[in-house]
Structure 1
Amino acid sequence: MNRRTYLGTIGASVTALAGCTALGESNTTPSTQEPSDSGCSDNLQPLAINFEEDYNVRHGTAHGFELTASPETVSLGGRLTFRLENTTNQVQTTPNKELFAIQKRIDGAWKHLFYVDESHGYDANAVVHEPGGGFKWSFSVTREGLSTEGHHICSDIVPGKYRFVYFWMNGSDEQSGKAVAVQFTVKE
């Protein structure tokens, strides 16, 4: 595929994603954590993105990218860094770095931790990643540390298995979206 066709495909994908919001009817497995007076206001709703049905989620290396967590096991209150790296020899394009979710493994299923405002949507401006390029996220492993602008965690973080998921729209009809995820463990 030549560069002009590739960029046109990405532009169409980004345009399609630009109107997406994180709310709505979904079979997603929202968090079992309810907003509380200590953490979230009444106008927040669980993130409603169904990765199992709407995205081709792969762990570790997929879709031309590698997603890593460092360290893979972290203590409550510790520092955790995620890196998304273009592992191909070609330029790759994704939306911006705010398209991520954090989920906890509860009763054998991944549950969203994020709550979002009713009017929350994603800005899907395209970002070009040269080979070896990508994104980096760094967080303190606390409710406040993992909450970001637009994404709120309403309950304390407890020991257990979690995953960080970066997602974007696919430019083809194969599936509606792509996602790469990495698991990490939180301990006392």
Structure 2
Amino acid sequence: MRRRQALALVTGSLSLVAGCSSESATDSTPTTSKTDTEMTPEPQIRELPTTTPPDPIDCDDDPRPVSRAAGDSYPERANGFELTASKDVVTIGERITFTLTNVGDNPRGVGEKYKYNILRQHDGWEPVYFTTSQAGWTDLGVRVYPGGGFRWTFTATSEGMERRNGHNPDYHVCSPLEPGEYRFAFFGLGGSTISTTFIVEDA
């Protein structure tokens, strides 16, 4: 993949039309179980849809790299949330899952599940994702109860990592996935970003 200078995407908000939010009212409200007179929230894990973008992009037209979370390092825990990977090493063609969990004792607000990025370490953290969108990410807030959170599952190939992200920028991959060190990051914690690293190996 030819090197491109990472350009930050516009981070402004989009206005959401009622009924068009990617997080429905039922999705953001936990189910409850009644024990005697006490209502106990049951944690929910919200899945990232696995829909791929409907149309390929021409990577020779210099699409924008998704450069969010391209800093030197980020913790795996912040603001009461923890980010983990299902495995430390993934072979090209295998599946890998990343999970964001509220590890605190109280409900916490968090940005929506589309505020994620994957980057590769190559003389600094380089974006895997590119987009033709000029917009930023929606500012929908989600209430997450203890034990609840988000889950993202990908196949470790360039096609397997591409995603259509609703009202947010679609993510395209412009080159074959190469062996090396990668980072999955979530930047929906207000002013904080958390990440977890993993290794991609040849099959």
TM exceeds 0.5? yes
Deviation per CA, 1:18-38: give whole Å up to 9, x if none. 25xxxxxxxxxxxxxxxxxxx
SS in 2 for 1:144: helix
1:178 aligns with 192
Number of aligned residue pairs: 145
In 2, the alpha carbon distance for the partners of 1:165 and 1:112 equals 11
Out of 110, 116, 123, the residue aligned to residue 94 of structure 1 is 110
Q: Tell me the TM-score normalized by structure 1.
A: 0.70
Larger radius of gyration: 2
Taking the TM superposition and a 5 Å limit, the aligned residue runs for 1:38-187 are 40-41=57-58, 42=61, 44-49=63-68, 51-52=70-71, 58-107=74-123, 109-149=124-164, 150-168=170-188, 170=190, 177-187=191-201
Q: Tell me the TM-score normalized by structure 2.
A: 0.65
Unaligned runs of 5+ in 2: 1-10, 15-55, 165-169
1:18 aligns with 13
Deviation of 1:95 after TM superposition, in Å, equals 1.2
Deviation of 1:71 after TM superposition, in Å, equals 1.3
- Per mean C-alpha deviation after superposition, the further-off stretch among 133-142 and 114-123 is 114-123
Amino acid at match of 1:152: H
- Asked if the contact 1:43/1:118 (under 8 Å) is kept, the reply is no
- Asked if the contact 2:107/2:146 (under 8 Å) is kept, the reply is yes
Runs of 4+ in 1 over 6 A off after TM superposition: none
In 1, the alpha carbon distance for the partners of 2:119 and 2:102 equals 23
In 1, the alpha carbon distance for the partners of 2:141 and 2:175 equals 33
Instruction: Give the helix-richer structure, 1 or 2.
Output: 1
1:35 aligns with none
Distance 1:169 1:51, change over 3 A: farther
Alignment identity in percent?
31
Deviation of 1:48 after TM superposition, in Å, equals 3.6
Deviation of 1:104 after TM superposition, in Å, equals 0.2
SS in 2 for 1:58: coil
